[in-house]
Amino acid sequence: MHSAPRLTDLAHGGGCGCKLAPSVLQSLLARQPAAQPFAQLLVGSDMADDAAVWQADDKTCVIATTDFFMPVVDDPHDFGRIAATNAISDIYAMGGRPIMALAILGMPIGKLSPETIARVLEGGARICAEAGIPVAGGHSIDSVEPIYGLAVIGLCSPENLRRNGGARSGDALILTKGIGVGIYSAAIKKNALPEGCYAEMLASTTLLNRIGADLAGNPDVHALTDVTGFGILGHGLEMARASGLTLEIDLAALPFLAHAESLAREGFITGASHRNWASYGAEVDLPGGLPDWQRLLLADPQTSGGLLIACSGEKANSIRDTIRAAGYPLVSIVGKASEGPARIIVRG
């Protein structure tokens, strides 16, 4: 009797590492016809923001997003939890609160049992329950590789809407979760993840970014985005472009998962890290002599990563402490925004 295949063996990539390289995505979007203008569409695809936003009336904005990917772990229930947490994050990253989700499911029916597929859906539903929203429907197909995610709808008031643009010169940058999920996923595929690291990774990737909705009510918080497949450098660069500023990242202040740096030194780097760096490395200044493993760690694709926050420099310590008290133990002040061209400067 044949044993069931590992989920990660059925996929050529996993998690947010499956995303198209930033340069490829930009090329595809540049070829699309100009969108018809709608006054109610406050956020579209023009600035690479986390979700679309439609202003329904003077008091309500509707936020819509979709996110799905292939397995980053082998446990089907955990895969569902991670994918759902990641998808809902886009709503929080815009300052909104989710109200419902639709499931997106593609599975190789001849290779995975109905019980395994059901566990994926159960994991996603569990996270939606934690977020206080229903899975109200969805769509499924028979596909070559396993795929799962959500389309999510949320709401916010217009004054609480936060975009990846809006950072101001002098703002502090705060990151709410540790970096290294892509490194850990590469080690999982090679059965080389150290003991204890799976639980650490799962705790991070299933931690909802619900703090974003609370932060959006704070006028000292000027910009929000979540750090996912393009890594801290890629999503930081999107904030820099949208805000028209230079972002300075303090390498020593960045939080990492416990074994991310040691595993990166050992060569557990995803292909997405290389694609990410090739796409945007020309817009990043690194310290002299930075080793390749460290450079690629900064481009590491994060699945269900943390929020990158631009806030008043004077209030940064207080905001960081509030986030930590809300259950984000690795939250750190990691840099600042300053006048200058839209690029990233990494300080050693």
* Cα separation, 313 vs 220, whole angstroms: 9
Q: Would 7-160 and 172-347 be classified into the same CATH topology? A: no
Please provide residue 194's backbone torsions phi and psi, each rounded to the nearest 5 degrees: -60, 155
Using pLDDT thresholds of 50, 70 and 90, give the confidence band for residue 4.
confident
**156: annotated active-site residue:** no
Using pLDDT thresholds of 50, 70 and 90, give the confidence band for residue 44.
confident
* Domain chopping of the chain, boundaries: 7-160, 172-347
Using pLDDT thresholds of 50, 70 and 90, give the confidence band for residue 1.
very low
pLDDT above 50 (res 339):
yes
| The pLDDT of residue 334 | 98
pLDDT above 70 (res 30):
no
| The pLDDT of residue 48 | 82
Domain 7-160 has what CATH class? alpha beta
* Cα separation, 222 vs 239, whole angstroms: 11
| The pLDDT of residue 24 | 67
| The pLDDT of residue 37 | 72
CATH number of 172-347: 3.90.650.10
3-state secondary structure the chain: CCCCCCHHHHCCCCHHHHCCCHHHHHHHHHCCCCCCCCCCEEECCCCCCCCEEEECCCCCEEEEEEEEECCCCCCHHHHHHHHHHHHHHHHHHCCCEEEEEEEEEEECCCCCCHHHHHHHHHHHHHHHHHHCCCEEEEEEEECCCCEEEEEEEEEECHHHCCCCCCCCCCCEEEECCCECHHHHHHHHHCCCCCCCHHHHHHHHHCCCCCHHHHHCCCCCEEEEEECCCCHHHHHHHHHHHHHCCEEEEEHHHCCECCCHHHHHHCCCCCHHHHHHHHHHHHHEECCCCCCHHHHHHHCCCCCCCCEEEEECHHHHHHHHHHHHHCCCCCCEEEEEEECCCCCEEEEC
Residue 223 pairs in a beta bridge with: 310
Using pLDDT thresholds of 50, 70 and 90, give the confidence band for residue 2.
low
For 70-116, the pLDDT digits (tens) are 999 999 999 999 999 999 999 999 999 999 999 999 999 999 999 99
| The pLDDT of residue 25 | 63
